[in-house]
Structure 1
Amino acid sequence: MDWQRWHQRYDDPESVLSRRLEAVKKQVRAALDRAPAGPVPVVSLCAGQGRDLLEVLADHPRRADVQARLVELDPELAASARERAAEFGQVEVVTGDASLTDQYVGKVPAELVLLCGIFGNIGDEDIRRTVEASKQLCRTGGTVIWTRHREEPDLAPSICEWFESRGFERIWLSERDAGFGVGVHRFTGVPEPLITGQSLFTFR
């Protein structure tokens, strides 16, 4: 997969990816709006260029409270995210394998966990494993935002069930005819300790 070319579709305002990004950004903004006072830790897995978070931080009143770690394996995409994040001293961009739990030591449990661009590229068991691990990544009251296409087989309803059986409540799921899938869940349980040395998923 040429991930640089894939990300260029975000620049086309008519593309499905561009419309999905706008939906994700709206939900990121809402999550930051409802975050409690104090530091707002954020982790983004497979962050790409970091647009979903960084474009919101540009004018969000809580931007100074956000302490984020963006993890992206592709060096060029990570470099682009790092350049975009330069104005936000509290945003760290790591070039590395986002599936490894070790990447999030010191940043979780987080108020906002971004799992965008992942569930459509991994197998069902890896999705379940990542949903399960979200209890280690997300603090009580925190938000997980995830994406997955709504084409057949439409796994989004099952993903919602997997989250909801693990202490998450659904906040929002995009309509199936939107052309993309974005889900938002809030963690109502107690976070589990981070288990290091694990790999959550492998891209197919």
Structure 2
Amino acid sequence: MDWHSWHRDYDVPGSSLARRLQVVQARLRLALDAAPPGPLTVVSLCAGEGRDLLEVLPTHPRRDDVRARLVELDPRSTAVATEAIRVAGLTNVEVVEGDAALTDRYQGLVPADIVLVCGVFGNISDEDIERTIGMCRRLTKTGGTVIWTRHREEPDLVPTICRWFEERQFDLVWLSDPDAGFGVGVHRFTGRPDPLVLGRSMFTFVRHQ
């Protein structure tokens, strides 16, 4: 899969990806607005070009409070994200080029206030989705927010994803309408985070939906 070319659909007005991005960004703004005062941490799994965060943070009032890490394997995408960070002067945002499935990539920045898992659940097995949701207990602090995406094509796994989150002490905050053409979910962690275990792989990309 040419992920760099895939990102071009974000620039097509009215496309499913463009509309989904707008929703994710709106929910991210709300999560930043609702976050407690003081320093904030954000991690993004399979961040791509970082548009979810990097098109929100530069103009957000909390920009200087945020320390963030974007993890992405594709080098062309990380180059775009790195340049966007430079232009915006986001000195507390870093890009890590590597496999976002590896727990080691998040050491030192989790549990985080906001965890972005966008563009992941449509490309991994159901078993890996559930494993990744379980790992979110290690990535998210108490009261922290997870924003995730998944297509609504059959079989529609979104209700099951919500159940998997709820079984792990994540309360549903918001879910996009079933007829939106995409799925975006927001969950808040109410439990106590488990320690991060290094050397684990959360998922393997197996297909592109």
- Asked whether the two chains share a fold, i.e. TM above 0.5, the reply is yes
Q: 1:14: how far off?
A: 1.2
Q: 1:13: how far off?
A: 1.6
- Identical aligned pairs, as a percentage? 65
DSSP-derived class of the 2:9 partner:
helix
Residue of structure 1 equivalent to 2:94:
92
Write out aligned runs for 1:47-86 (5 A).
Answer: 47-86=47-86
Following the alignment from structure 1 to structure 2, what is the Cα–Cα distance between the partners of residues 39 and 54? 18
Structure 2 residue runs of 5 or longer lacking an equivalent are none
Following the alignment from structure 1 to structure 2, what is the Cα–Cα distance between the partners of residues 147 and 179? 11
Which of 92, 100, 103 is residue 105 of structure 2 equivalent to? 103
Write out aligned runs for 1:1-204 (5 A).
Answer: 1-86=1-86, 87-204=89-206
Q: What code does the residue aligned with 2:186 have?
A: V
DSSP-derived class of the 1:83 partner:
helix
The superposition leaves residues 95-144 of structure 1 with CA deviations (integer Å, 9 ceiling, x where unpaired) of 00000000000000000000000000000000000000000000000000
Q: Number of residue pairs matched?
A: 204
Following the alignment from structure 1 to structure 2, what is the Cα–Cα distance between the partners of residues 79 and 38? 30
The superposition leaves residues 163-200 of structure 1 with CA deviations (integer Å, 9 ceiling, x where unpaired) of 00101000011011000000000000001100100000
Following the alignment from structure 2 to structure 1, what is the Cα–Cα distance between the partners of residues 6 and 76? 13
TM-score (norm 1): 0.99
Following the alignment from structure 2 to structure 1, what is the Cα–Cα distance between the partners of residues 204 and 194? 23
Following the alignment from structure 1 to structure 2, what is the Cα–Cα distance between the partners of residues 199 and 58? 32
Q: 1:85: how far off?
A: 1.1
Following the alignment from structure 1 to structure 2, what is the Cα–Cα distance between the partners of residues 137 and 169? 16
Superposed structure 1 runs of 4+ greater than 3 Å apart: none
The superposition leaves residues 24-49 of structure 1 with CA deviations (integer Å, 9 ceiling, x where unpaired) of 00000011001111111000000000
The superposition leaves residues 43-71 of structure 1 with CA deviations (integer Å, 9 ceiling, x where unpaired) of 00000000111111121000000000000
Q: RMSD of aligned C-alpha atoms?
A: 0.5
Q: 1:19: how far off?
A: 0.2
Q: 1:4: how far off?
A: 1.1
Following the alignment from structure 2 to structure 1, what is the Cα–Cα distance between the partners of residues 178 and 151? 9
Q: What code does the residue aligned with 2:173 have?
A: I
Following the alignment from structure 1 to structure 2, what is the Cα–Cα distance between the partners of residues 183 and 31? 12
DSSP-derived class of the 2:200 partner:
coil
Following the alignment from structure 2 to structure 1, what is the Cα–Cα distance between the partners of residues 38 and 148? 24
Following the alignment from structure 2 to structure 1, what is the Cα–Cα distance between the partners of residues 191 and 79? 35
Following the alignment from structure 1 to structure 2, what is the Cα–Cα distance between the partners of residues 108 and 57? 19
Following the alignment from structure 1 to structure 2, what is the Cα–Cα distance between the partners of residues 4 and 166? 34
TM-score (norm 2): 0.97
